[in-house]
Structure 1
Amino acid sequence: MSAALGRYERAARKAQADGRIPALSVALHRADREPWVFTIGDSGRPEHPLSPDSRFRIGSVTKTFTSVLVMQARDEGLLDLDRPISAYLDVPAHGDATIRRLLSHTAGFQREPDGDVWDTLVPPDADGLLAQLDRAERVLPNARQFHYSNLGLAVLGQLVARLHGTTWEQLLADRILHPLGLDATTADAPAQAAVGYLVDEYSDAARPEPQMPFGGVAPAAQLWSTATDMARWAAFLVSPELADPGGKVLAAATVDEMRWPLTTREETVWASGFGLGLLLAPQARRAVHVGHDGAMPGFLAGVYGRRGDGAPDGLGCAVLGSSGTAGQINELVHELLRLTVEADPADIKPWKPAAPAPREYRSALGVWWSEGSPFVFSWHDGALQARLPEAPADRPPAVFRALPGRPDVLRTVSGREAGELLRLTRDDTGAIVRMHWATYRFTRVQEAFDGGPAWDGPEDGSGR
């Protein structure tokens, strides 16, 4: 066993022991290594001993799948994120809630459907969920703040199912699970499902928890899966261009859109946020963990991928456990992602010479000045780039692409001022002598806003 794998296993063993987790299944997925899978404990089913194929309930990780179905429908022109749900569903109340707000948990919907479903263990069916929406509260004004809602994501799941004229379960299988080969992920509990437990706080007793189907609320929390499948899913959420190179499930640009934070979860501690259905957990050194936690009676799950900070391409991790109270399950997924970068970082790719910048952009290279500060323009990876000289090395540069048929007008496609235009001005020889980026003037020497150089001021330095 390599030193890195030994550290992963020790972390998992410690979490299982400290958390008193009856069964724990852990997987790491990355594009440049074989998957690592580890299990420890007892499935609770003698006929199906614990193995990498054991299935665990993943709870609210299900929401990430529903969110991808919503974004598929958006990309196909079936819905608009900023239109109200009443444009697509006949609902008795709260039809003004927009799809974007529901995806980001900022629509103010109460947490659960009407009724004490966690007492009765009888959730409404799909029709009942929508028909009873007038019994649910808007506990906060629309767009006021983050408020987590199973009800909101369940409504979205039923919405996309009806747009396609099928059930949420069938749509999920057809549009995500089968195309990505997530064959161990199912709506119903298979024979190899582990038993979920409530572990007694004051003894080592463990009581099996009931496992009810979630009915119309299924799009929020229904699924069962393996750690291997879920680590692959986490890798898709951070590196869709590798997990789904043809974009048959979702375009990489749309997954990027889902990862952009739309709200923080707390006002005073900005430790995590939400995008379009995805939970975002910032880490040290310009990294972020993207995914979701899950909880259902007797089960907890953590499914996240890592971006930034030298993370290997397609790095995803899943930790699934058969205890409903062991917070170590949700902590371990983040620990393993950090350990991976520390103990087995991405391979360093050797630098190789490449073709020079195209002739028409060579006079753009070097130092330019704007607002009194220098910027360095360079050509790397087939694109014009810009960055502040003092910017941290791990901060991505601004990257530009020329507009079709307009080589002197470029769009900022990523980094600082993303979306803004860079306009080039040339002299009679074709050399670039001035640039305007986001309308700010860039020149080869430091200038004031009136165009005068710093040295062309009063001799006494008075500024008058």
Structure 2
Amino acid sequence: MTDSSTPTPHDPSTDRALAALDAQDEGATATLDSQADAAAMTSAARDVQADRAATPGVSQVDGHVEPSTATRLSRETTTALDRIALDAQRSGRVPGLAAGVARRGTLLWHNGFGAAHLGQNVGAERVGQTAPDENTRFQIASNTKTFVAVTIMALRDEGKLDIDAPARDIIDTITADSPLARMTPRQFMSHSSGIQREAVGDVFDTLVMPGRDEFLASLAHSERVLPAHTRFHYSNLGYALLGEMINRLDGGDWFASVQRRLLDPLGMTSTTLGYPGGVDTDPHAAGTYFVPPYSDVPVDEPVFDSRAIAPAAGMVSSVRDMARWGGFVANPDPAILSADTLEEMCQPQIVADVDRWGAAWGLGFMLLRRDDRIWVGHTGGWPGAITGVFTHRESATTGVALMNATHTPDPAALATDLASAVEEREPELPATWTPGITVPPELVPLLGVWFSEGTQFTFVVEGGTLKARVEGMPEWKAPAVFERVDENRYRTVAGRERGEWLVITRDADGSVTQLNWATYRFTREPAAFGEWL
């Protein structure tokens, strides 16, 4: 696994300017601009192109970029997206790049740059090159981890495992004296266990990954290289162990579980474990290349079986399918995973970037902070394949960047640059305000202004639900939400003091005299601590 799986978090102060391409040769830029002008097509023509989206290899003519075939964005926005992606492909000398931006799992824009597969050299020319598109299948490497983590959490929700239980409770071949014995699924998902990065042996030197039996036998020699929860330490070995847990708890084959639980319900038909039948037989497979630093002639990278390490990095997918996955991350189908569980997975477990606090890890997901947005997703790095897929959950906007090279520009930065450009240029309009139907009578005495510690809180009813906002709270911050348990008790189910009780005190005639929220007294007028004693 290359270091691109844990990239330096994107620094918002270095956002790409769309004019960066202007610094390159004027000829290429002029070509791009003229082609962008050609993209000003009628919506009907765009719809026809959308119907042809499944046809591969439409992105380039004579080595030049064709206008995007996006159907839902303005020409100016698609031109900007083309510029961002082309800038990355050119500056990174990436043989082939497929990129897309989606909302709620539906692609708004996609395009391909360079060649998905370089074909064969015939004399001084290449023959048989194919352009990448939204259906080209790349090795997504560590993006595999997000599918494994969601499967683990689904098993947790079904009561089949405790993510804080020792690994030995699930994998009984781990010996009691092994440092792995007390490590937990939570620690593996968040890279906080301190376990060594790779499986025992020089697997990324020999490129021979262990089979299941060999892998299980090697666990006796695995090390804890850091104390748990002290530092972020990326570990593919931890995810191989999570895959083995799925094997044991859900029918014997971790990928069959991913297929049944996630891929099939979501319609992710181009996502597989490796290339079934071999990469050479797959007409949609991207090549895998290394571009030497002092030459522009790519070298083929090997495609090899990740075997027992596959739960860390073994899956193959496309821009279209990963855009669909981003839609699930934004708003999961409750038949697959509850929204509360997905939200739990997006809570920081450990800071990955302690110098700038720009990146953290949840349960299976990277969490990147860029300006005022948090992006949830993952990067991936494998010989000849670098990927980045990130979603801004509040707007359900996903950026996807799949590249067929070992060394590329930061995939997280590219994916979030693309999605940010859409959010900044064409944000969705907010939903219209909708009047409520009724105010539950038991909530009427609770409404209005209350004070605690001298601070004003306003309790309101929205959609029949009791909510509370603190004075001065920014508009983007969600209010506290309460759920009635009985006449005088409500549970905080979202927002401030989530999980805590709101308790109502009444006088002899039943009038509400005070509230206690997380034990703190709330009164109609400001009061000092103990003034009521």
| TM-score exceeds 0.5 | yes
For 1:288-307, what aligned pairs fall within 5 Å after superposition?
Answer: 288-307=374-393
Equivalent-residue separation in structure 2 for 1:297 and 1:131 (angstroms): 26
Q: Which residue of 2 aligns with 1:91?
A: 174
- Is the contact made by 1:23 and 1:321 (CA closer than 8 Å) also made in structure 2? yes
Q: Which residue of 2 aligns with 1:252?
A: 339
- Is the contact made by 1:28 and 1:228 (CA closer than 8 Å) also made in structure 2? no
- Is the contact made by 2:289 and 2:301 (CA closer than 8 Å) also made in structure 1? yes
Q: Deviations over 1:342-400 (max 9, x none)?
A: 11112222223222422221222221110121111111233111111111111111111
Q: Which residue of 1 aligns with 2:146?
A: 64
Aligned partner of residue 290 in structure 1, secondary structure: strand
For 1:16-415, what aligned pairs fall within 5 Å after superposition?
Answer: 16-31=89-104, 35-44=108-117, 45=119, 46=128, 49-89=131-171, 90-92=173-175, 93=178, 94-189=180-275, 190=279, 191=282, 192-240=284-332, 244=333, 247-285=334-372, 287-308=373-394, 311=395, 314-403=396-485, 406-415=486-495
Distance 1:67 1:141, change over 3 A: same
Percent identical pairs in the alignment equals: 38
Give, in angstroms, the shift of residue 452 of structure 1. Answer: 5.2
Equivalent-residue separation in structure 2 for 1:307 and 1:33 (angstroms): 14
Distance 1:271 1:358, change over 3 A: same
Q: Which residue of 1 aligns with 2:87?
A: 14
Equivalent-residue separation in structure 1 for 2:382 and 2:497 (angstroms): 42
Equivalent-residue separation in structure 2 for 1:170 and 1:352 (angstroms): 44
Q: Deviations over 1:145-181 (max 9, x none)?
A: 2110000111110111122232222222122111111
Distance 1:344 1:361, change over 3 A: same
Distance 1:329 1:278, change over 3 A: closer
- Is the contact made by 2:98 and 2:111 (CA closer than 8 Å) also made in structure 1? yes
Equivalent-residue separation in structure 1 for 2:235 and 2:352 (angstroms): 13
- Is the contact made by 2:451 and 2:523 (CA closer than 8 Å) also made in structure 1? yes
Letter in 2 for 1:132: S
Letter in 1 for 2:88: A
Range moving further from structure 2, 40-49 or 289-298: 40-49
Aligned partner of residue 280 in structure 1, secondary structure: strand
Distance 1:340 1:419, change over 3 A: same
- Is the contact made by 1:283 and 1:289 (CA closer than 8 Å) also made in structure 2? yes
User: Please, what TM-score do these two structures have when normalized by structure 1?
Assistant: 0.91
Give, in angstroms, the shift of residue 428 of structure 1. Answer: 4.8
Equivalent-residue separation in structure 2 for 1:72 and 1:33 (angstroms): 24
Equivalent-residue separation in structure 1 for 2:231 and 2:431 (angstroms): 43
Distance 1:56 1:32, change over 3 A: closer
Give, in angstroms, the shift of residue 135 of structure 1. Answer: 1.7
Equivalent-residue separation in structure 2 for 1:395 and 1:178 (angstroms): 35
Letter in 1 for 2:404: S
Equivalent-residue separation in structure 1 for 2:389 and 2:107 (angstroms): 18
Whether 2:521 is the aligned partner of 1:448: answer no
Give, in angstroms, the shift of residue 339 of structure 1. Answer: 1.3
- Is the contact made by 2:506 and 2:514 (CA closer than 8 Å) also made in structure 1? yes
- Is the contact made by 1:399 and 1:414 (CA closer than 8 Å) also made in structure 2? yes
Aligned partner of residue 439 in structure 2, secondary structure: coil
Aligned partner of residue 433 in structure 1, secondary structure: strand
Distance 1:205 1:283, change over 3 A: same
User: Please, what TM-score do these two structures have when normalized by structure 2?
Assistant: 0.79
User: Where has structure 1 moved over 6 Å in runs of 4 or more?
Assistant: none
Letter in 2 for 1:37: H
Equivalent-residue separation in structure 2 for 1:17 and 1:407 (angstroms): 65
Give, in angstroms, the shift of residue 75 of structure 1. Answer: 1.3
Letter in 2 for 1:199: V
CA-based RMSD: 1.8
Equivalent-residue separation in structure 2 for 1:33 and 1:125 (angstroms): 37
Equivalent-residue separation in structure 2 for 1:9 and 1:381 (angstroms): 42
- Is the contact made by 2:397 and 2:423 (CA closer than 8 Å) also made in structure 1? no
- Is the contact made by 2:378 and 2:412 (CA closer than 8 Å) also made in structure 1? no
Q: Deviations over 1:413-433 (max 9, x none)?
A: 111101001111234554422
Equivalent-residue separation in structure 2 for 1:47 and 1:23 (angstroms): 10
Aligned partner of residue 488 in structure 2, secondary structure: strand
Give the unaligned 5+ runs of structure 1: 454-464
Aligned residues: 441
Equivalent-residue separation in structure 2 for 1:174 and 1:396 (angstroms): 35
- Is the contact made by 1:230 and 1:317 (CA closer than 8 Å) also made in structure 2? no
Give, in angstroms, the shift of residue 408 of structure 1. Answer: 2.3
Distance 1:148 1:361, change over 3 A: same
Letter in 2 for 1:378: V
Give, in angstroms, the shift of residue 16 of structure 1. Answer: 1.3
- Is the contact made by 1:18 and 1:328 (CA closer than 8 Å) also made in structure 2? no
- Is the contact made by 1:104 and 1:274 (CA closer than 8 Å) also made in structure 2? yes
- Is the contact made by 2:110 and 2:133 (CA closer than 8 Å) also made in structure 1? no
Give, in angstroms, the shift of residue 341 of structure 1. Answer: 1.4
Q: Which residue of 2 aligns with 1:459?
A: none
Q: Of residues 423, 436, 439 in structure 1, which corresponds to 2:516?
A: 436
Equivalent-residue separation in structure 2 for 1:276 and 1:329 (angstroms): 20
Give, in angstroms, the shift of residue 49 of structure 1. Answer: 4.4
Letter in 2 for 1:317: G
Give, in angstroms, the shift of residue 328 of structure 1. Answer: 4.2
Distance 1:155 1:33, change over 3 A: closer
Letter in 1 for 2:444: R
- Is the contact made by 2:107 and 2:323 (CA closer than 8 Å) also made in structure 1? no
Letter in 2 for 1:380: E
Aligned partner of residue 132 in structure 1, secondary structure: helix
Equivalent-residue separation in structure 1 for 2:353 and 2:370 (angstroms): 16
